[in-house]
Structure 1
Amino acid sequence: MADRGWMYSGWKRGRPTNEWVEKTNEFLDRAYSIPELVESDTIKCPCAMCRNYFRHKRPKIELHLCHNGYKENYQTWTSHGERRENHEHVIGLEVQPEGFGETDRMDDMLVDLAGGHPPLDEETPTGFAEAFYRMAVSADERVHDQTLHSRLSTVARLLAIKSQYNLSVACYDNYVGLVHELLPPNSKIPQDFYRSKKLLEGLGMQYHKIDVCEKNCMLYYKDNKNKDTCDICGTSRYKDGSNKVPRKVLRYLPITDRLQRLYAHEGTAKLMRSHKEDHVARSTKMLHPCHGKAWKQFDDDFPDFAEDARNVRLGFATDGFTPYKLNAASYSCWPVFWVPYNLPPGVCMKPEYIFLAMVIPGPEHPGNKLSVLLQPMIDELLNLWAGVKTYDASVKRHFTMRASYLWSIHDFPAYGMFAGWSTHGIFACPQCMCEGNAYRLKKGLKATWFDCHRRFLPIDHPFRNKANAFRKGKTNMENNTTGNI
């Protein structure tokens, strides 16, 4: 089977020839004879639609090959047991071990992405599948004949540079235009930013723009989506002028797709169960949040949730920062992050596993209106608590993934906004509440907690009887009634 021109020329009058059918059966017999390629009686489908990214059983592969033919340039069966011994020599290009070209791992990324969205039963690809197939074609398509860079890897690098250096769309279009002038006329890089984004549409990482009242009173969301004025303060939704430009926009990035992507990769899917199956789960030391009281109490309260180790425990983090220079006008922007704590301690704190879920716009901090701005995230959490169908690449099966919110990470002022507890005055401590023994200074009336710590000492400690070492004329024989240290 050295001469494989039959793969593309073995059709006459729209039908496969006897030679094509015979050699296709030989190809499938050979592939199924290699145990490493077969999983649950399926192998990778080499048709022009699946392109070795989806797995099927033999009857469906035969049907796909008859309908779609083989993927282009597949004379070397790299996904069916063969190795590419002699790579094509490319003039003037040296492939670095950690560079792009054949080491950019774009194919691996697409295999993981395909695993997260197994093929549908219908033959015609729609929605995600259609965008994925367009992206898969670009992963195999070189920019031009004298480079190993694929169309997909090149566009991914260009968009990464744009994001890293905060380039405008016009700047991106201009330097892509210059790149086109430097490359041969038949180069296949998209001509502008719009076409570049369309190429990566198959990644499925969408975000939503939600208009917000200028005073954060309400979101133009769900039932309020088509309103033009705020129901609370009466402020117009749009700026003055004929164009409908919103005064303030909340950008929301759903986390469901990104949690599902964690299970699309076989290695990461196993890590998501490590808190229950790994040696860390059996440790007697505090090595993971699963050893904490909050995690264990949650498991006791919701045993049906704790039964499946793949259900996700999430941590929430938010705080304000100034995106401009300190000498510029004050502007407070609030990003919101989620952290999946199922992962091992050395993994879950890495930047790639901390998901940006929301960017709350300024210029002022949201204050007690923070709960209004978190509505889309709360709605998604309710859906995740009910469960979403997810594909687990480690076991090659679907399961119902659920997620719960366990912890919040923020500073004390942000705690007041998020939890609705005033962090000012003598009742600022959310643990001690009214039992904190704080008082106000006589002159400045500021709240102070000086000398509130002696009640935590043993009852016979000498500091308790000292009347002038702390507050003048005050001893403290009070017991710790809050239970906190």
Structure 2
Amino acid sequence: MTSTYDQWIHHGEALDGRIIENADHLNEHIPFNEDVGMNEGEEDLDDRIPDMVKELFIAEEQGAENSMFAAILEEMKEELFPGAAVTRFSFVVKLLHIKSFYRISNAAFTAILKLLSLAFPACSLPTSYDEAKKLIRALGLGYDTIHVCPNNCVLFRKGLAKHDNCPVCGESRWKDADGRKQIPQKVLRHFPLVPRLKRIVASKKTAEEAQWHKLKRKPVENELSHPADGEAWKEFDRKYEWFAKDARNIRLGLATDGFNPFGKMNSSYSMWPVFVVPYNFPPWICMDESNFMMSLLIPGPECPGKDFDVFLEPLVEELLTLWAGLETKDAFSGKEFKLHAAVIWCIHDYPALSTLSGRVTKGYYACVRCDKNPCSRRIRNKICYIGHRRFLPRDHPWRTKKYFDGQTEKRDKPEEFSIDELMQQLERVKDVRPGKHPGSKDDDMNAIMAAPVEDEQQPNTAIEAVSQVLPSSKFLQNVGLQPALKKRSSRAETLRVQELEAQLEKEKQDKEELRQKLDGQQQEIDNLKKQSEEARQKHLEDVGDLKKQLEENNALLRGLISFNQSQ
């Protein structure tokens, strides 16, 4: 650790006058390159391994022939050398622990074993790493190697275990063409999950701890101290009450992500481990790294992408078996019972969500809560996620404001797919063929280039083949593929262009005739308006003359009446 780094030991909690032990060492700086050693004061393995193996032997099916745990118990009785304080088994396990902790290579570990055997001939040590690893396999800590099609089409297992070629793409599973050396091109490592879960209830201590979440946990309202306090756990218990009744049923979390095993950031190599985490234990156990169980190690060098389901096949089969239930023995109660297990959530980042589930995590439908009418809009050349006022109540005052985007919001919140609609969506992709098949586009381009051409025409070039196989995009236009296609137009294309030009000219003539007709109609309308205005003016003049004549008649009548009255 660098000398300028300050060690933060408190996070806002009150000290309450407590005395901090070893306070003199809080500000000491640890050298950056100093290795962190193993804990020498931990409990001796000889005190734990025999009891563990005995419990597993007792929990094993009665009457089973060739019990592997019985063989381990016999192996543990062998001394490392006459009069030794440790057994051969525990010594080898400690050596393997050191190898794993300090990252010693297999070749170096084999060389160390040979040196120890040469220096101490009285010790019965394994001669190689593979021989030492057989002891760990006997404890059920090994893995199965499953060959994979180079194009991720299928796994060579069960009915395909003896096949040399992929039944989908025809690619060989071996690196050498004849398959004599039988070196696989790609290998999936599967760590069986069922034996490890059965081993949890085969030990009295772990079997009791696996029921802690229901027997000893003391939930506090509005406080999350264990995954069982979360809403996902409670919703699962409400939906599957039969599963929640037995505290021994195991709830699992599935976690995965890609990583570069070589530690080089400029390398594109990517491997995908798949971990399974049981959450029945107390929080100080279920959140510990030692509780993580690696189930799959998906090989690189590329991300499996949409073919992730192919690699999950062994794990999914185990989970379906565990969901149906397995007969096993509970060491804590000493009774037989049916063990069930279920995955209640997955842990991954957002890009891995697409890899694991297959749903879209980019573009207009990137939001996992907006399956219909998403809150996304294209603004210039970017997709933006706006319109979140749709989630507000219908009578919320913010819906009528125009402060946000200049518009009011009257739409309802986006809807999610129902189970029936989701099954319909999955039905549409049930026939999708897994695998990358990199050679399919090459075959199409070769077929286009080798296609026969008519007289006076040149054969298709590689550029034209690429432009026809790949979808149209701005990249093809920028690199000059689209202009190249336009220059090399065929006779049919020329005739089509002439036909379109003639059609365009005819449309122009029709538009001109229509425009002239509209002009004539407009002139007639203007003439009618003019005649109407003249008639109106004449009518107004006639009305004025009539009014004038009427006034004269009225004046004459008034004069006659005045004359008669004077007589």
TM-score, normalised to structure 1, is 0.71
Question: Do residues 273 (structure 1) and 211 (structure 2) align?
Answer: yes
Q: For residue 355 of structure 2, what is the aligned residue in structure 1?
A: 417
Larger radius of gyration: 2
Q: CA deviation at 1:128?
A: 1.4
Q: 1-side partners of 2:329 and 2:176: how far apart? A: 48
Q: For residue 76 of structure 2, what is the aligned residue in structure 1?
A: 136
Matches within 5 A, 1:291-310: 291-310=229-248
Q: 2-side partners of 1:389 and 1:111: how far apart? A: 23
Q: CA deviation at 1:266?
A: 1.9
- Is residue 438–residue 447 contact of structure 1 (8 Å, CA) maintained in 2? yes
Please point out which of 404, 425, 434 is paired with 1:470. Answer: 404
Q: CA deviation at 1:283?
A: 5.9
Residue deviations 1:276-335 (CA, integer Å, cap 9, x gap): 111335766433333333333333333322221101111111111111233553111000
Q: For residue 170 of structure 1, what is the aligned residue in structure 2?
A: 107
1:464 to 1:281, Cα distance in 2 relative to 1, 3 A: closer
Q: For residue 377 of structure 1, what is the aligned residue in structure 2?
A: 315
TM-score, normalised to structure 2, is 0.61
SS at match of 2:155: coil
Q: For residue 516 of structure 2, what is the aligned residue in structure 1?
A: none
Comparing 394-403 with 458-467, which one deviates more in the overlay? 458-467
Q: CA deviation at 1:461?
A: 5.8
Q: For residue 12 of structure 1, what is the aligned residue in structure 2?
A: none
Q: 2-side partners of 1:105 and 1:422: how far apart? A: 49
Residue deviations 1:323-372 (CA, integer Å, cap 9, x gap): 12335531110000001111122221101111000000111111111111
Q: CA deviation at 1:404?
A: 1.1
Q: Which amino acid aligns with 1:343?
A: F
- Is residue 331–residue 363 contact of structure 1 (8 Å, CA) maintained in 2? yes
Q: 2-side partners of 1:205 and 1:266: how far apart? A: 20
Gaps of 5+ in 1: 1-96
Matches within 5 A, 1:379-398: 379-398=317-336
Q: For residue 514 of structure 2, what is the aligned residue in structure 1?
A: none
Q: CA deviation at 1:380?
A: 0.7
SS at match of 2:290: helix
Residue deviations 1:455-480 (CA, integer Å, cap 9, x gap): 3446666654443x433x32334444
Question: Do residues 263 (structure 1) and 201 (structure 2) align?
Answer: yes
Please point out which of 236, 239, 253 is paired with 1:315. Answer: 253
Gaps of 5+ in 2: 1-38, 417-567
Q: CA deviation at 1:190?
A: 2.3
SS at match of 1:210: strand
Q: For residue 455 of structure 1, what is the aligned residue in structure 2?
A: 390
- Is residue 426–residue 447 contact of structure 1 (8 Å, CA) maintained in 2? yes
Q: For residue 343 of structure 1, what is the aligned residue in structure 2?
A: 281
- Is residue 46–residue 86 contact of structure 2 (8 Å, CA) maintained in 1? no
Comparing 256-265 with 212-221, which one deviates more in the overlay? 256-265
Q: How many residues align?
A: 376
SS at match of 2:48: helix
Q: 1-side partners of 2:130 and 2:187: how far apart? A: 21
Q: Which amino acid aligns with 2:332?
A: S
Q: 2-side partners of 1:287 and 1:153: how far apart? A: 37
- Is residue 165–residue 171 contact of structure 2 (8 Å, CA) maintained in 1? yes
Residue deviations 1:22-55 (CA, integer Å, cap 9, x gap): xxxxxxxxxxxxxxxxxxxxxxxxxxxxxxxxxx
**Aligned-pair identity (%):** 38
The Cα RMSD (Å) is: 2.7
Q: For residue 476 of structure 2, what is the aligned residue in structure 1?
A: none
Q: 1-side partners of 2:221 and 2:400: how far apart? A: 44
1:99 to 1:135, Cα distance in 2 relative to 1, 3 A: farther
Runs of 4+ in 1 over 6 A off after TM superposition: none
Question: Do residues 440 (structure 1) and 373 (structure 2) align?
Answer: no
Q: For residue 207 of structure 1, what is the aligned residue in structure 2?
A: 143
Q: For residue 538 of structure 2, what is the aligned residue in structure 1?
A: none
Larger helix proportion, structure 1 or 2?
A: 2
- Is residue 189–residue 298 contact of structure 2 (8 Å, CA) maintained in 1? yes
Q: For residue 108 of structure 1, what is the aligned residue in structure 2?
A: 48
Q: CA deviation at 1:234?
A: 1.8
1:125 to 1:99, Cα distance in 2 relative to 1, 3 A: farther
Q: 2-side partners of 1:321 and 1:98: how far apart? A: 31
Q: For residue 92 of structure 2, what is the aligned residue in structure 1?
A: 155
